[in-house]
A and B are shown apart, each in its own frame.
Chain A
């Protein structure tokens, strides 16, 4: 089934210079293995094509049901150098939640998926 990350995750993002960080958190423990399997660094790099101009690093935090992504060269130079409206990458989190993944395993989505 095709799932948009908005249905199964929440997220927060921020900046360190020209690098954006996106913390992606599974809404339920059973969703964590799904995002761990499908939301790879490569998939995220593809999703952010044209936005993230450098590599993507991924780190796992199973204790928080979370993945942390570093999106290098995504903020137009960062800080006061950047001409971007979102120079601090605050909305990279919701951009991440647009991503869709094709999940092979059965997945129960709550009736009110986006609570």
Chain B
């Protein structure tokens, strides 16, 4: 067994810093790199892309990135684990194989995890008694069944570990818990038992720290952002994992950012609920047992994590089409900037009413004043300029589209000293609403496909 393994974080979301994964594989030693591409609504975007072109439906950025780093990871034997396969991990694999062939690379083994996409099996599952009620509102799925765009099960680390055990150098998944991308290599390398709850929980905690990239290493750092060194060249986190479950977080030497108890604490608190019950498919981690120690410069040790047995359910993430929104902005300058913006808002609302257009919601915010903190933000005496931001949401596409045509006229038919309408009419964008559900684990089985070229 290896004394330790280093699992680097390469992407915290689809759209993250493109140089980060390149830095991770070139600027120092690592054994694994995980990359998270999937937010809650990302799968619906990918389903739409796949509907238009059956070869797509994965994180397209991943292919040029892999083309860039393939020679390095082949030479250094770095293994890459990512959920960037989206709703078409096989198509993603084929594109990466094609890139490898173009580079003259042979002997590349890619493992693909499939089975999480249950969109086409929904009715069969429901006839077997899997209700898929909304776990937050308890609503019946019938309410949105005909508008569903995606349905994916959150698998855990098990299929990833299987792919690694079978020799995959790259593992591509669809919907998988973000944390599994980090702790699957620990289970693969250290042979942890699937009932060693404390070690599994330690892996989950490491995964939570890794999964948002630079947010653990000085990015979005509330404690002391002015003194974070060289954010322009921020180093993403690296989990140095040990067989006993201890993990030391660090980053490559020579990179910017920082790794401190404060930076890691902020990330640990990001998007959590009850800290004693962080539920994953493999265990329930207790974040109130985590111990953090600064053990060196840019080195934070994570230890003491306790876990509890897993539950009988997988979480299912579904999304459905729920109308349209359009949002637009206009900038008003001194004098009386805020009064002008408020008057423009009033004129616009009057015109929308005169047209007989109705919306589920019209929302006005004043950027620069209170769009972030609302009534908590005091209004200053002198306002140099303010951005009127107005948005509508409704089921009627044509009403939302018509709203977009009512913005530009305000420039010549509303209050003066207005600018900032260079982007053209706002186009309606489809609202994709989220439907979380639970399903029994025995109702679905992941499969792992491993191939070599």
Residues of A at the B interface (CB closer than 8 Å) are: 10-17, 21, 23, 25, 27, 47-51, 57, 59-66, 68, 70, 76, 78-81, 83-86, 90-91, 93-95, 97-98, 115
Contact = CB atoms under 8 A, between A and B. Distances in A.
Interface in B184-231: 215, 220, 222-224, 227
A25 B373 contact: no
Nearest to B432: A80
Contact of B269 (A25, A27, A97): A25
A98 B325 contact: no
Contacts of B433: 79-81
Contacts of A59: 273-276
A106 B420 CA distance: 51
Given A83-B327, A91-B372, A98-B373, A25 B262 contact: yes
Interface stretch (B77-85, B108-116, B282-290): B282-290
A66 B327 contact: no
A25 B376 contact: no
B40 A63 contact: no
Q: How large is the interface on B (under 10, 10 to 19, 20 to 34, 35 or more residues)?
A: 35 or more
Contacts of A50: 374-375
B421 interface: no
A81 B287 CA distance: 31
Nearest to B45: A80
A38 to B, nearest CB: 17
Contact of B373 (A12, A21, A60, A95): A95
A83 B273 contact: no
Q: Classify the interface of chain B: helix, strand, loop or mixed.
A: mixed
Given A14-B270, A86-B372, 6 more contacts: A47-B376, A51-B374, A60-B288, A68-B272, A80-B432, A94-B372
A24 B115 CA distance: 39
Name the residue in A16, A65, A91 with the highest tally of chain B Cβ atoms < 10 Å from its Cβ: A16
Given A66-B269, A83-B391, A61 B262 contact: no
A80 B430 CA distance: 8
Contact of B272 (A23, A63, A79): A23
A64 B269 contact: yes
B277 to A, nearest CB: 10
5 shortest interchain CB distances as A-B pairs: A23-B269, A83-B391, A10-B223, A14-B271, A83-B363
A101 B173 CA distance: 47
B40 A61 contact: no
Contact of A12 (B267, B325, B389): B267
B327 A23 contact: no
A81 B431 contact: yes
B367 interface: yes
Contacts of A85: 365, 367, 371-372, 389
B439 interface: no
A64 B272 CA distance: 14
B266 interface: yes
Given A63-B289, A81-B393, A12 B375 contact: no
A27, A65, A68, A80 pick with most chain B CB within 10 angstroms: A80
Contacts of B289: 63
